[in-house]
Amino acid sequence: MQKFSIKIDVEALEDIQKTTDWYNSVKNGLGVKFQKQVISQISKLIKTHTYSLLSMKM
């Protein structure tokens, strides 16, 4: 299996943080759930080399 690496651009990280802040403004703790899902999906991508938006549930 070929190795690969994932690079998350600074702008993407900023977008994730802005989205987290917005979710937290809607409901306390919702942004934390969002960030956990983002981290989970990135972890799955690293492990399986696949990604599915359909598996993201909040």
DSSP code string of 2-58 = --------HHHHHHHHHHHHHHHHHSTTHHHHHHHHHHHHHHHHHHHS---GGG---
User: pLDDT at position 45, please?
Assistant: 82
Per-domain residue ranges of the chain: 10-49
User: pLDDT at position 44, please?
Assistant: 84
Kindly report the pTM of this predicted structure. 0.72
Averaged pLDDT for residues 4-18: 90
53 pLDDT higher than 90: no
pLDDT, tens digit (0-9, with 9 covering 90-100), for 20-49: 999 999 999 999 999 999 999 888 888 777
- What is the chain's alpha carbon radius of gyration, rounded to the nearest angstrom? 13
